[in-house]
Amino acid sequence: MGILIAVVIVAGVLGWVIVKNDELSGLGRTVRSGSFRSPHGKLVHVKALGELPAEEPWPQRFKRCFPLVSCVAFVVVLIVQFAFIQAGATSDWMDILGRVLNSPLPAAVIAGEALIRLHDGLRLLPTYIIALLGALVMQAVLIAVFSMVAWLISLASLAGAAVALMWTVVMFASPFAFALGAALAVARTGRMVKFRRRFADGSENDIEVSTNSVAYGAYREMMDAKAA
């Protein structure tokens, strides 16, 4: 799990740097033409391709993208698996199921549902990486908290069964942690809006930016200043 989190973080950071560099190209007071950030010089004109979206309250976005179906589905599967284990049932498919539930697959599925629920023209791959990262980080926080609780219980010389109970709670709470992390990440990304940009050297291109991005605010200011 740690290796997966590291890979997702590296991929997410690299993707974020590339995307943000493109979004902010030509913006700012000191723009150097031909530089890595502003290869075409200063941004001189921008217009929205279509209507700008209405503001949507963040709590409403969070509720709309919360991946409840896959979260509950994995909890139900965990309950069934736990019941069979307590009954002493063992089989190859139980072993396979345990491996699947302890793999990154639940986080990947739950993050995917969050993305589907709040598509809104999002950049699918970068947003999915962010959602998956949010899911994995939230589970890491959950494990860290319960590890501390288990450690405190062991210091108090309480029964080992109490520590085992803590990890059982972590097992059943993990799908909710995945869902919470993914929903928080996806809801924060905002809606994607397409703009057409023209730079000082005459080149033009189209770009999609999030309504929560710095670039979106800068583009809106340029459009408002021109309309005034």
Secondary structure (3-state) at 209: strand
| DSSP bridge partners of 208 | 194
How far from the centroid of its chain's Cα atoms is residue 9's Cα?
Answer: 11
Q: What is the pLDDT of residues 80-107, one digit of tens each?
A: 888 888 877 777 777 788 788 888 889 9
In terms of Cβ atoms closer than 10 Å to its own Cβ (0-12, 13-18, 19+), residue 48 is middle
Q: What is the pLDDT of residues 102-128, one digit of tens each?
A: 888 899 999 999 988 887 656 677 788
pTM of the shown model: 0.74
Q: What is the pLDDT of residues 198-209, one digit of tens each?
A: 998 888 999 988
Percent of all residues in the chain with a pLDDT value above 90, rounded to a whole number: 24
The predicted pLDDT at position 80 comes to 86
136 vs 119: CA distance, rounded Å: 20
H-only helix segments in the chain: 2-23, 58-65, 68-86, 92-101, 105-117, 124-155, 160-189, 214-227
Check: CB of residue 170 under 8 Å from CB of residue 163.
no
Span 31-49, average pLDDT: 84
| Residue recorded with tokens 């493109």 | 22
Looking at 55-59, 82-86, 92-96, 185-189, which range is the least confident one? 92-96
Give the pLDDT band of residue 228 (cuts 50, 70, 90). Answer: low
- Alpha-carbon dihedral sign for residues 3, 9, 10, 11: positive
Secondary structure (3-state) at 57: coil
The predicted pLDDT at position 198 comes to 92
**What is the residue-averaged pLDDT of the chain?**
83
The predicted pLDDT at position 4 comes to 66
Question: Count of H helices and E strands in the chain?
Answer: 8, 3
The predicted pLDDT at position 101 comes to 82
pLDDT over 60 (residue 1): no
pLDDT over 70 (residue 174): yes
